[in-house]
Amino acid sequence: MAGGGLAIAAALSVWFWQASSATSTQAATEAALAAGFDAKEQKAIEAIVRDYILKNPEIIPEAVELLQNRQKASAIDEVRDQIETPFAGDAFAGNPDGDVVVVEYSDFNCPYCKQTERDIAKLIAEDKNVKVVFRELPILSEASNDAALMALAAAKQGKYYAFHKTMFATGRPTPSTIEAAAKEVGLDMAAARAFIKSPEARKEIENNIAIAQRLRFTGTPAWVIGDQSEVGAVGYDGLKEMIAKARAAN
C-alpha cells in the first residue's frame, strides 16, 4: 500500500493522542490525507493498528523506552563538551586520549560512590583506552561541599585523582578528614584555601548541579557514557556494558 508507513504513523498518533489532544488528531488526519488516503481508508488503517497494539501491548513500553533513550541522548549531546572536559584539565583518571569517556558525578559523603571507587580502579587498570572524568556533585551535606571544593583545589594543583582516592579512603568528610587527605597528597594548603573561596570554585559546583538537574540525575553516583546515562552503583560489569555499547556506537 503506497504511503502506508505515513498513514500508519498517522493512525498511531490518533490512537495514542486523540483522547487528550484534538490538535494531534487533526495533524494525523492531515498527514493521512497528504499521503493520498481518504477518511474511510484512514479509519481502516486505524482499526488495524488498534487491533495490533491490543494484541501486542508490549510494544508500548518498548516505544516509550526508545523515546526516553533518544531524549537522553539529545540532552547529553547539548552538554557533552562541558561534562567530558575535566576541571582544570586534571580531574580525570585513565587514558587522557581514551576512545570512550566515562563521566562520573559523585559525592564524597555517598557510600555508593565510595564503593564505586573499586570499580573505577579496576576499570582503568584493565581497559587502557578509557578516560574517566570526575564531576563534583555535593548534594548530601555541607561537608560534601567542603570536600568537593578541596577536590577542585587539588585539581588546580595537578593532584585531583590522588586526593579523590585518598578522601574516599580516609572516611566521611569532616574538617579534619578533608585536611588530612589534602595534606597526605601534598597540597599547598594556603593556595588550596584561597582557591576554595574563589568564584571559579563556586561556579564549577553550581554548573555541575545545574547540569545534573538537566540530565535528571536523582542521586549519586551518576554516569554519562556515550549517549547513555544512569544513576546508582551500576557495578564493574554495568560500566563495562555501557562502555561496550558506547564503543559499538562510535
Strand-pairing partners, residue 136, are 106
**Is 156 domain-assigned?**
yes
**Is 8 domain-assigned?**
yes
Q: What percentage of the chain exceeds 70 in pLDDT?
A: 86
Do residue 180 and residue 96 come from a single domain?
A: yes
Q: Which three cell numbers mark 185? A: 597528597
Summarised one tens digit per residue, pLDDT across range 63-115 is 767 777 788 889 999 999 999 999 999 999 999 999 999 999 999 999 999 99
CA atoms of 151 and 162, how far apart (whole Å)? 9
Summarised one tens digit per residue, pLDDT across range 121-160 is 999 999 999 999 999 999 999 999 999 999 999 999 999 9
**Is 64 domain-assigned?**
no
Listed residues 41, 56, 71: the one ending a domain? 56
Query: Region 208-215: what's the mean pLDDT?
Result: 97
pTM of the model: 0.77
Other Cβ atoms less than 10 A from the Cβ of 15: the count is 17
- Give the range of the structural domain holding residue 230, as residue numbers without chain letter: 79-249
Tell the residue number behind the cell numbers 493521512, with chain if given: 32
Which residue would you say has higher pLDDT here, 141 or 5?
A: 141
